[in-house]
Amino acid sequence: MIMNIARSLLFLFFIGVGQLFAGPAFAYILQADKFAKTKAEFVKKINESGRDIIVMDYSFDGSRNGAWLAKELAAMKQSDSQRKILAYLSIGEAEDYRTYWKKEWLTAKKPEFLLDENPKWKGNYRVRYWSKRWQAILFEYLNTIVRQGFDGVYLDIVDGYEFFEKGKDHCINSETLRPYREDMKRLVTEISRRAKGAAPRFLVFQQNALALLSDNVYIQMLDGVGVEDLFTDGRRPNNEREIKENLRGIIKVQARGLPIMVVEYARQSQLQALVRESAAANRLDVLLTNRELTSLGTFVKPKDLQKNKGVQEGKSGTRRRAVNVSVP
């Protein structure tokens, strides 16, 4: 069943968007302490990874004491001086395992910006991201990331505005009298302005929220885009309309010359075959990894797929032949 869907989708995608181009090899590891036992081991594995961009947490184990030092970030570039290290930052939800979190927030002292827990992610709470108090927390977190020596920031839950729109595009926020998505664009723009003001070469990537990329002014604030679950939701193929819509957003980013980082969490072999072939048909790189983000994952380039080759996780630096998934 999955392969039949794959064949029909591949034909559609190849006909519609065959002009996309490849980007940098990257890794997305948010639980460094599950990937390596020590900071030193993590640094070693990154240097052996062959990846150009590393997206990771600001801390090895999430604690303040585990925060990465500038010398440790610099050491991750020993094998590649051009490697970029990006710090993950969720801007549309508050996380109860972050250093800014206060236990009393869930009692009588709950701040005005804090809303209900995300039922899909325990410990993550939706926020009024336009709140000045919440933004002050984010800006301080950003300052820490810049001081640490990261090359950039990888913004997540940028699509948090969708929760408030509830399916109605450009729905107005009664508190600001602006569309919810406009409030999000203003937040991302301010993050970019502040970060680049402190470090002119600082990079700002956003994850998902491709609908925002129709704004030609807004997109100038970005240096790259990450896209999760482009072809599947990890368990089954996405519907054609959703994929085509997201690919149109990707085309706009590619036209700007910005790197695209496609991340898929499919584990079932036939679903992975769909991802590989769809990515190759659209000349897109893709990272196949686990949703817990505890590993390097498998990074595959379109040209490698066409030659039935891919860079797969295993022994560091090892290249193996990828599965032959050519369509009959």
pLDDT tens track, the chain, 328 positions: 555 555 545 444 443 444 445 578 999 999 999 999 999 999 999 999 999 999 999 999 999 999 999 999 999 999 999 999 999 999 999 999 999 999 999 987 899 999 999 998 999 999 999 999 999 999 999 999 999 999 999 999 999 999 999 888 889 999 999 999 999 999 999 999 999 999 999 999 999 999 999 899 999 999 999 999 999 999 999 998 889 888 988 888 888 888 999 999 999 999 999 999 999 888 899 999 999 999 999 999 876 655 544 444 433 333 222 222 222 2
- Crossing angle between the packed helical segments 240-255 and 2-16, to the nearest 10 degrees: 40
Residue 152 CB-density burial (10 A; 0-12 exposed, 13-18 middle, 19+ buried) = buried
pLDDT at 89: 98
Q: Give the whole-angstrom CA distance, residue 234 versus residue 291.
A: 9
pLDDT at 304: 63
Look up tokens 């290290």; give the residue. Answer: 85
Q: Residue-wise over 198-225: b if at least 16 C-beta within 10 A, else e? A: ebeebbbbbbbbbbbbeeeebbebbbbb
CA neighbor of 23 nearest in space, from 279, 323, 291: 279
- Crossing angle between the packed helical segments 180-198 and 132-148, to the nearest 10 degrees: 30
CA neighbor of 225 nearest in space, from 236, 238, 211: 211
pLDDT at 201: 96
| C-alpha distance across the termini of the chain, in Å | 15
Q: What is the DSSP string of 104-139?
A: GGGTTT--TTEEEEPTTSTTEEEE-TT-HHHHHHHH
The DSSP H or E segment spanning 225 is strand 224-228
Q: Give the whole-angstrom CA distance, residue 301 versus residue 320.
A: 13
Q: Give the whole-angstrom CA distance, residue 207 versus residue 290.
A: 17
pLDDT at 313: 45
pTM (predicted TM-score): 0.88
Q: Residue-wise over 263-275: b if at least 16 C-beta within 10 A, else e? A: bbbbeeeebbbbb
pLDDT at 257: 84
pLDDT at 234: 95
Q: Give the whole-angstrom CA distance, residue 157 versus residue 92.
A: 5
pLDDT at 303: 66
Pairing of the two strands 178-179 and 124-127: unpaired
pLDDT at 327: 27
Q: In order of start, what are the domains of the chain with their CATH numbers?
A: 2-92+129-295 (3.20.20.70)
pLDDT at 316: 36
The number of angstroms, rounded, from the C-alpha of 119 to the middle of its chain's C-alpha atoms is: 20
pLDDT at 169: 84
- Distances in Å between the Cα of 323 and the Cα atoms of 22, 184, 197, 304, 308 are 20, 41, 46, 11, 7
